[in-house]
């Protein structure tokens, strides 16, 4: 896909020999997530608090060949939460049709998704689909290892949080997944969190670290076939509302299913 200008004759030869670009390719996924948050607010006189909820999202991805990779369009087909989800059902309903764009480079790494039709609903649900697509490598061989470092900032009014993550990948075995030949890839990651968030009791500082593991499957042509992840974060929250930082434990699981 990368050619240098070597003269008119050579260029004509390259163009004639280059394969015709493929048309757009569509893939659909179901993303199931569960999040549990435990806060020990004993030092603030409020005891221990816990919340746990689950969400299910159906998304359609369209991949279109582009220079040095593929343009990716993500559309939310539907999204719902259980009865304990802090996001109202009306917001999930309003998120239907929300569109995000990204870019999948030649190495198989997807860029951060950006909302196209910005709306309050799309902004509130973007976090549910931001991490469902891992690093996929076409032609990856069992035994290969690689790593990635990322930094993601979320800003919404006075809410500003930065998450830095180091992820290690290892292709461990050739297997059959969903009736397709695939490579099973494991991932291990460590993260740090720092930022501020508004609360009913005033602004709060949040910081801490997390770690997790995952397993996913990639076909020989780089098609993502789904996987599972688990992440556990140990954080603290501090502010004028408490004399001591309050410990928070967040456990998140994600399961992605490829829909043929």
Q: Cβ(117)–Cβ(100) under 8 Å?
A: no
With b for 16 or more beta-carbon neighbours within 10 A and e for fewer, the 121-155 pattern comes to: bbebbbebbebbbbbbbeebeeeeebeeeeeeeee
Give domain 20-259's CATH architecture.
Roll (2.30)
Tell me: the pLDDT tens digits for 127-164? 777 788 999 988 899 999 999 998 888 766 667 889 99
Reported as a pLDDT band with limits 50, 70 and 90, residue 172 is very high
What three-state secondary structure class fits 14? helix
Reported as a pLDDT band with limits 50, 70 and 90, residue 11 is very low
Q: What is the predicted pLDDT for the residue at 127?
A: 74
Reported as a pLDDT band with limits 50, 70 and 90, residue 4 is very low
- C-alpha separations of 155 from 134, 152, 161, 210, 235 in Å: 23, 10, 7, 20, 19
Q: What is the predicted pLDDT for the residue at 1?
A: 40
Q: What is the predicted pLDDT for the residue at 167?
A: 95
From the list 30, 28, 32, the residue with the least C-alpha distance to 254 is 32
Tell me: the pLDDT tens digits for 208-256? 999 999 999 999 889 999 999 999 999 999 988 888 899 999 999 999 9
Q: What is the predicted pLDDT for the residue at 136?
A: 92
Q: What is the predicted pLDDT for the residue at 235?
A: 95
Domain boundaries, the chain: 20-259
β-strand pairing of 180-199 with 159-177: antiparallel
Tell me: the pLDDT tens digits for 19-57? 445 689 999 999 999 999 999 888 777 788 899 999 999
Is 74's pLDDT higher than 70?
yes
Average pLDDT (84-105) is: 90
């Amino acid at each position: 896909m990368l050619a240098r200008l070597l003269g008119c004759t050579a260029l004509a030869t390259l163009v004639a020999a280059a394969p015709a670009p493929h048309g757009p390719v569509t893939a659909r996924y179901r993303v199931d997530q569960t999040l549990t948050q435990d806060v020990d607010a004993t030092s603030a006189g409020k005891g221990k608090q816990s919340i746990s909820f689950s969400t299910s999202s159906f998304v359609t991805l369209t991949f279109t060949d582009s220079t040095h990779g593929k343009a990716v369009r993500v559309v939310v087909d539907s999204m719902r939460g259980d009865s304990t989800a802090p996001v109202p059902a009306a917001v999930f309903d309003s998120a239907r049709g929300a569109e995000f764009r990204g870019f999948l480079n030649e190495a198989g790494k997807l860029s951060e998704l950006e909302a196209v039709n910005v709306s309050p609903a799309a902004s509130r649900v973007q976090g549910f689909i931001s991490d469902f697509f891992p690093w996929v490598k076409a032609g990856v061989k069992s035994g290969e290892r690689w790593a990635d470092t990322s930094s993601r900032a979320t800003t919404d009014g006075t809410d500003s949080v930065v998450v830095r993550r180091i992820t290690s990948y290892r292709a461990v075995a050739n297997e059959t997944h969903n009736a397709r030949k695939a490579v099973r890839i494991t991932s291990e990651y460590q993260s740090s969190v720092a930022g501020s968030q508004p609360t009913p009791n005033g602004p709060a500082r949040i910081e801490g670290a997390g770690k997790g593991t995952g397993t996913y499957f990639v076909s020989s042509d780089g098609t993502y076939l789904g996987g599972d992840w688990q992440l556990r974060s140990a954080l603290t929250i501090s502010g004028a509302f408490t004399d001591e930082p309050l410990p928070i434990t967040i456990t998140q699981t994600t399961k992605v299913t490829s829909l043929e």
